Amino acid sequence: MLDRVAPSPLLQPLPPPNQAPIATFTPRRRFYVPVPAKFVLILTLALAWAALSVWLSRPWLDGLSAVAGFWLALFVIAFIAYVPGFMNAFLVGSMLADRRPPRRAIADYPDLCVLVASYNERATIADTLRSLEAQDYPGQVEVLVIDDGSTDGSFDIARDEAALRSRPGMLQRVLAMPANGGKARALNAGLAATTQELVVTIDADSYLRPDALRKLVERFLSDPPGTVAVAGCVLVRNSRSNWLTRAQEWDYFHGIAAVKRMQSMYHGTLVAQGAFSLYTRTALVRVGAWPECVGEDIVLSWALLRTGARVGYCEDACLFTQVPETVGQFARQRRRWSRGLMEAFARHGGLLVKPRMTTLFIWWNLLFLPLDLVFTLAFLPGLVLALFGYYWIAGVMTLLVLPLAAIWNLVIFRVQAGMFKTQDLRVRRNIRGFLLYSLCYTMLLQPVCVMGYASELLRLRKNWGTK
């Protein structure tokens, strides 16, 4: 069962604290190093690690070349060891070097609107609106639920709950779409029906911490000039449901959160996710708002980056979401994410040659396709071969990635746990979920991603939902 007081099973409240000042988890600053200098230094160290990996892997490369030929062997080993090693080394270095400016309190908080696209969310929409009512945001807030042709009674529940939860400083109302047209169309209708300059989107199956909106706006106003969007921190609410949700808890906590923090350090978070993000209306209008596609949030984010704008990340503005509880739901969601990535490249591939630090991460995303293919078509079969004594692909050399993986996990855990501590929360001991995430999760995730790439290349029918 879900705990309404502490909605994220990953987090458990500490004893009642004294009121703390606005802050994020940041190690004490001794001297300032400009971000471009950090980028060059960390990139150099990550490349040095990759070069060391190449040198150490020569016996592995020679053995596999005798079976598969040199170029195929090099391709396979590069995407099993060299590229992931470089990525993890760069991520660890960035997390250790991150010294983001603290959020600052604001004398006059701007008005904002919150758009909630909802389709058949009968079980969750009331909770979402209750969590919005509980927000401590000092400014005026308009919450607009856009019911996208729901057939399960969601509209009536949202309408009644919105009337009940409206209060001074917060108006909640519902806009009914004539028929189901998809999330992008619903959000664009909501944008047209509101006027505030700051626009926040959240999913209709979410639960926000009471300070989430305030912290998101404070981060936006504290970030460097040119910031037009800020992604919030999305965590798992239903992790106690089964083994799959326990593993996803660590994916959101470790993988997704760490990557967003790293990307924002270099001024370009690649996905301001629709589940919880802030945008300026001016920037949305400039790029034509949400595009009609299954990956509307990543395509929108890349459109914003293409204008030269900055997209940030607020690691302590927390929202808890319901993640898929069945393998089928999970597969549909991650296939959609993979198709969204390909849509982003199709529409904004020019970012690959845009001269800015975040161009590295665009190439990083481009490498996901061969990474997932090699893992699915080479490494997984290599594990099976290793069981029969054939160590051509999976063997002793692949164990060299374990020390870096351990460091990666420790660094991210330290940073995330420190951030939680500033919010009077602590990490729940989800050891089984962590083991599943560390040892087995990619065996499900990466083949599913390959299926998503294939679906997009074959132009199969698209649909948004995971239910």
Query: What is the length of the chain?
Result: 467
Residue 12 pLDDT class (50, 70, 90 cuts): very low
Specify the pLDDT at position 99: 82
- Whether residue 196 contacts residue 111, with contact meaning beta carbons closer than 8 Å, is answered with yes
Write out 405-459 in H/E/C secondary structure: HHHHHHHHHHHHHHHHHHCCEEECCCHHHHHHHHHCHHHHHHHHHHHHHHHHHCC
Looking up tokens 């998503």, which residue turns up?
Answer: 452
- Whether residue 129 contacts residue 158, with contact meaning beta carbons closer than 8 Å, is answered with yes
Residue 429 pLDDT greater than 80, yes or no:
no
Cβ burial of 80 (10 Å; 0-12, 13-18, 19+) is buried
Specify the pLDDT at position 21: 37
Residue 407 pLDDT greater than 50, yes or no:
yes
Residues 248-305 pLDDT 10s: 998 998 889 889 999 999 988 999 999 999 999 999 999 999 999 999 999 999 999 9
* Mean pLDDT value across residues 204-225: 94
* Mean pLDDT value across residues 115-120: 96
d(CA 438, CA 182): 34
Q: Which of 27-36, 183-192, 458-467 has the highest mean pLDDT?
A: 183-192
Q: Whole-prediction pTM value?
A: 0.88
* Mean pLDDT value across residues 365-378: 93
Specify the pLDDT at position 208: 96
Q: Output 9 or 179, whichever has higher pLDDT.
A: 179
The CA-based diameter of the chain, rounded to the nearest angstrom, is 74
d(CA 373, CA 367): 10
- Whether residue 214 contacts residue 109, with contact meaning beta carbons closer than 8 Å, is answered with yes
How high does pLDDT run on average in the chain?
Answer: 87
Residue 27 pLDDT greater than 70, yes or no:
no
Specify the pLDDT at position 402: 67
CA angle 4, 141, 224 (to 5 degrees): 100
Write out 29-53 in H/E/C secondary structure: CCCCCCHHHHHHHHHHHHHHHHHHH
Q: Output 116 or 257, whichever has higher pLDDT.
A: 116
Specify the pLDDT at position 393: 85
Strands 198-203 and 276-280: antiparallel
Specify the pLDDT at position 465: 54
Tell which CATH classification among 3.40.50.720, 3.40.640.10, 3.40.50.80, 3.90.550.10 matches the domain 112-340: 3.90.550.10
Q: Output 168 or 437, whichever has higher pLDDT.
A: 168
> Which long-range contacts (C-beta less than 8 Å, at least 24 apart) are formed by 372-377?
372/446, 372/447, 372/449, 372/450, 372/453, 373/79, 373/450, 374/75, 374/76, 374/79, 374/80, 375/79, 375/80, 375/442, 375/446, 376/446, 376/447, 376/450, 377/450
Q: What are the residue ranges of CATH 3.90.550.10 in the chain?
A: 112-340
- Reduce the DSSP state of residue 93 to 3 states and report it: helix
Residue 466 pLDDT class (50, 70, 90 cuts): low
